[in-house]
């Protein structure tokens, strides 16, 4: 019997739900889940280490690695074979804010994902870090 699949946290809801070659109709498609797109976003677009990205998604690093590899293969298949990439589905929860904590005063607060990351604490003005870095 398999284990219950953990809900994965994602930091954005894709506004584009399909992507494909221009000028083609009724192509075969490749389905990619929202959590798989999140793995690509965190690793390839944001440049995060797998350990940190896994913590942000609430999964283990080996699980993150498997999700990322599957997602990359799906994107490659869609590009190489000229298929439409359909984005949607998966077991995930939308996390709308990033958690930050000050290294000096331990003050914590949230910032929206679309807001730039703060460089200094809003409480004592010293260096801050993503809360996931300290765990």
What digits encode the pLDDT tens for the residues 102-120? 778 777 777 765 566 667 7
- Give dist(CA 84, CA 64) in Å, integer: 24
Does residue 49 lie within any of the structural domains? Answer: yes
pLDDT digit string (tens) for 15-68?
Answer: 888 888 887 666 789 999 999 999 999 999 989 999 999 988 889 999 999 999
Pair 76, 33 in one domain: yes
**124/68 same-domain check:** no
* Within-domain flag for 52: yes
Domain total in the chain? 2
Same domain? 105 vs 40: no
In our burial notation (b when 16+ CB lie closer than 10 A, e otherwise), range 25-64 reads: eeeeebebbbbbbbbbbbbeeeebeeebbbbbbbbeeebb
- On whether both 84 and 21 belong to a single domain, the answer is yes
The residue segments making up the domain with residue 19 are 8-94
Whether residue 63 sits in one domain with residue 17 = yes
* Alpha-carbon distances of 60 from 22, 33, 79, 115, rounded to whole Å: 38, 18, 29, 26
Tell me: do 116 and 62 sit in the same domain: no
């Amino acid at each position: 019997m398999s284990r219950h699949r953990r809900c994965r946290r994602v930091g954005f809801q894709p506004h584009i739900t399909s992507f494909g070659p221009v000028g083609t109709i009724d192509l075969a498609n490749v389905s990619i889940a929202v959590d798989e797109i999140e793995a690509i976003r965190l690793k390839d677009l944001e440049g995060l280490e797998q350990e940190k990205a896994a913590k942000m998604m609430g999964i283990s690093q080996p699980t993150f690695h498997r999700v990322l590899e599957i997602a990359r293969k799906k994107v490659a298949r869609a590009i190489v074979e000229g298929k439409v990439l359909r984005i949607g589905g998966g077991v995930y929860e939308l996390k709308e804010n990033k958690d930050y904590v000050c290294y000096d005063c331990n003050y914590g607060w949230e910032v929206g994902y679309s807001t730039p990351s703060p460089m200094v604490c809003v409480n004592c003005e010293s260096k801050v870090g993503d809360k996931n870095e300290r765990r």
